[in-house]
Structure 1
């Protein structure tokens, strides 16, 4: 799958860089939204399989994952199996705009309420530290830099985490870019998992 994306700016000043990232983000989200159900299911299945194999080496880890929105890969089946085999899981709660996310324990029985941007968040469970943090990828490059939704939540959260969790970027291989032109405050992921497999970032 080849995507028709805007060309990177020749003059890579901050404004040109931001405008390009905004245009690429819009194009990638449009592509993902337009994926037919069969293709989405097939590619997502491959990604879940790779993620399952990854978690086999981390059976007791507490995994901070995401509630799928905007046609993201749904990793909940893998997370539920991880919990059933003795692992832990948590979902992010956003305390407010421009604040880092915190993580609350989650199981399939956890009560959920609409949170920031109406994304479901757990309620009534304890605050927990996560060993592994999943970062959904709108786009990404081979150096592990991710293009997210533009809110900066993951980068603020990682900057606030101590100790820092192992960060796993999850996305479709078709959204790989040569270079996302990262900002100076962007934090690369440690591992990339796509439908083509798993890559550890050196």
Structure 2
């Protein structure tokens, strides 16, 4: 796999997602969130890792709020530390941090085992492996776990190639949910 092919694919997916997010984004977000919610209700996880969305990513904040109100599962989000992140319980207030991403305050509480992880993607290759922003934070996070949670990739519109662009360490989806 040539890194330049992966980089080019990433750039084209980002342009496509930026374009998609300009039109009917609220409607598209809502459709994806409904699908995610139905999956979570059927799967019945005790803990879910979500994310604080950036502009072109599916806005899962309504899902976070709904799950927290129902109290049927614990909601965690990434908290960046070094070259990866730790999962911390979602709570307010959120503060803008590195790369413009919002995060809750760091928690010293040890998180429970993550049963289900909902991960934003820029693109997906022929092996259903994640093409992200190129920092490798999700890859390192999942590699350092001593177990494998169920992973759902999500994005506004599927940006997929049949080519294999991933490396061995790139994470793979169990499910992909898009608009």
Fold agreement, TM-score > 0.5:
yes
Q: What is the CA distance between 1:67 and its match in structure 2?
A: 1.0
In 2 relative to 1, CA 38–181 (structure 1 residues): closer, same or farther, beyond 3 Å?
Answer: closer
What residue ranges of structure 2 are gaps of 5+ in the alignment?
none
Residue 83 of structure 1: aligned partner:
68
Query: 1:185 is matched with which residue: 138, 148, 169?
Result: 169
User: RMSD between aligned alpha carbons?
Assistant: 1.9
Residue 4 of structure 2: aligned partner:
19
In 2 relative to 1, CA 127–92 (structure 1 residues): closer, same or farther, beyond 3 Å?
Answer: farther
Normalising by structure 1, we get a TM-score of 0.78
Residue 140 of structure 2: aligned partner:
156
In 2 relative to 1, CA 124–187 (structure 1 residues): closer, same or farther, beyond 3 Å?
Answer: closer
2:125·2:166 contact (CA, 8 Å) conserved in 1? no
Q: What is the CA distance between 1:174 and its match in structure 2?
A: 3.6
Normalising by structure 2, we get a TM-score of 0.88
Query: 1:139 is matched with which residue: 123, 138, 142?
Result: 123
Residue 3 of structure 1: aligned partner:
none
- Indicate the SS of the match to 2:76: strand
Structure number with larger C-alpha Rg:
1
Q: What is the CA distance between 1:113 and its match in structure 2?
A: 2.1
1:105·1:127 contact (CA, 8 Å) conserved in 2? no
Rounded Cα–Cα distance in structure 2 between residues aligned with 1:142 and 1:41: 29
In 2 relative to 1, CA 185–124 (structure 1 residues): closer, same or farther, beyond 3 Å?
Answer: closer
What residue ranges of structure 1 are gaps of 5+ in the alignment?
1-13, 196-202
Q: What is the CA distance between 1:18 and its match in structure 2?
A: 0.7
May I ask how many residue pairs the two structures share in their alignment?
A: 176
- Indicate the SS of the match to 1:31: helix
Rounded Cα–Cα distance in structure 2 between residues aligned with 1:176 and 1:51: 20
2:121·2:130 contact (CA, 8 Å) conserved in 1? yes
| Higher RCO (CA-CA < 8 Å; seq separation 6+) | 2
